[in-house]
Amino acid sequence: MAMNKGRAQTTASPRFKLYPKYKDSGVEWLGEVPGHWKIRKTTWLFAIGSGTTPPSEDLAYYGGDIPWVTTSELRESVVVTTEKSVTKEALRDLPSLRLHPKGSVAVAMYGATIGRLGILGTDATVNQACCVFSMPKGIDAAFWFFWLQMRRPYLISLGYGGGQPNLSQELLRSVRVPTPPEEEQRAIVAFLDRETAKIDALVAKKERLIELLQEKRTVFITGAVTKGLDPTVRMKYSGVEWLGEIPAHWGTSFMDKLVDPLRRITYGIVQPGEPDPDGIFMVRGQNYSRGWSSSEDVFRVSRDIEAPYKRARLKQGDIVMTIVGAGTGNIAIVPDWLEGANLTQTTARIALDPRKANNRYFSYQLQSVVGTVSVELTVKGAAQPGLNLGHIAKYRVVLPPIQEQKAIADFLDRETSTFDALTERVLGAIDRLKELRTALISGAVTGKIDVRGEVV
């Protein structure tokens, strides 16, 4: 059967050639594959298993010399060391706790880490949230690792069916994989190792550039919100050691003294039920991690949640703050199109009293060293950092006169646009590099491009 060359060439760079002959794979999403490749189920290719968590109260099961892998340790890399280890007694007493050989591929099946991957760098056990593919037959484990990276978004989408997303072993056992001869698999892996390492190095450099831009932006904002715009103004000690001096006519305050007394500082509600395209917006931290997402990307839920919904309703101009997870401390101002929306429980609302506090000025102050130090001093937890509303209420903030707050906010709106434009440009370049990485992996492991001649 003739190959649709146009479709194949759009998968990755035109520099790569096609295979000389293709055939129908029999798998709808995959289409055609090289004529000499075979399609096999994962159950033909691997021993597939999992693990368990030994009872925490039984100290005899922990502290041994056998690594025990949890899903938090699956980071798209080789797992060499683990936070916890188990004993030979645990292996003996718990039949579901199995020792998986070095080189096995593990995937997180549910929870916040769903779809995360790792290759065991040593013989190890795993918890019950990991699915392990070991003892490969006719397939290179590294080829399977790249294949899972390519197919992960679709597999995760199959795991969403209400409640906690779940990649079951049954689902993973039913996956059909296109497999070239093993020598060819190793050539594909060598190519992808080399090319993805180049891309990853470029991404790392650009991410470091973003860090430097953000550091300079923070320093610039901090100077304006803590020292003002007049370099000749008389200064005084603020009374806060890490804050230092502020203009003599400014004061300091606690955050809860500046909020609307009828609305206060609150957090959102547990995200309920199924999505409803005509329902109420539910704001999550990811919606403003890089400026506000479009309305199509903000989750909506049924209006039946009206009773609990009232507590954390948003108004235009409110400040929202991520209080749980990797983005803890992120800040944004609610735009007009989100008037009447609500929050998830991982996001807080700070509704300021406009007679005392300019929302734009305090948004900048919370993005400055004033905000970052406050977060660092009060955040709790390492694996899942979080902020307490009581701590946010007692954040010590600088308080200029209201007209000066507005002038500083206007100044920063103009001046930070340069930093923001540069950052967005670099982020766009990172997105394109990641798209290229994905396209290379997808094209190589599905046979849409022939990379055998690319390996020296």
pLDDT, one tens digit per residue, over 357-391 is 999 999 999 999 999 999 888 888 666 678 889 99
Report pTM: 0.80
Q: How far apart are CA 367 and CA 44, in angstroms?
A: 53
Question: Residue 305: is its pLDDT beyond 90?
Answer: no
Q: Hey, which bits of 1-129 come out as E strands? A: 22-24, 32-34, 38-41, 47-49, 62-69, 77-79, 84-86, 105-108, 117-120, 125-126
Give the pLDDT of residue 166: 83
Question: Residue 344: is its pLDDT beyond 70?
Answer: yes
pLDDT tens-digit map of 72-130: 999 999 999 999 999 999 999 999 999 999 999 999 998 778 899 999 999 999 999 99
Domains and CATH numbers, the chain: 1-37+180-208+403-456 (no CATH), 40-177 (3.90.220.20), 251-399 (3.90.220.20)
Give the pLDDT of residue 270: 73
Q: Which residue in the block uniquely carries the two structure tokens 């188990």?
A: 86
DSSP H helices, 336-401, are 359-367, 369-378, 389-393
**Mean pLDDT across 281-299:** 87
Give the pLDDT of residue 8: 40
Give the pLDDT of residue 274: 67
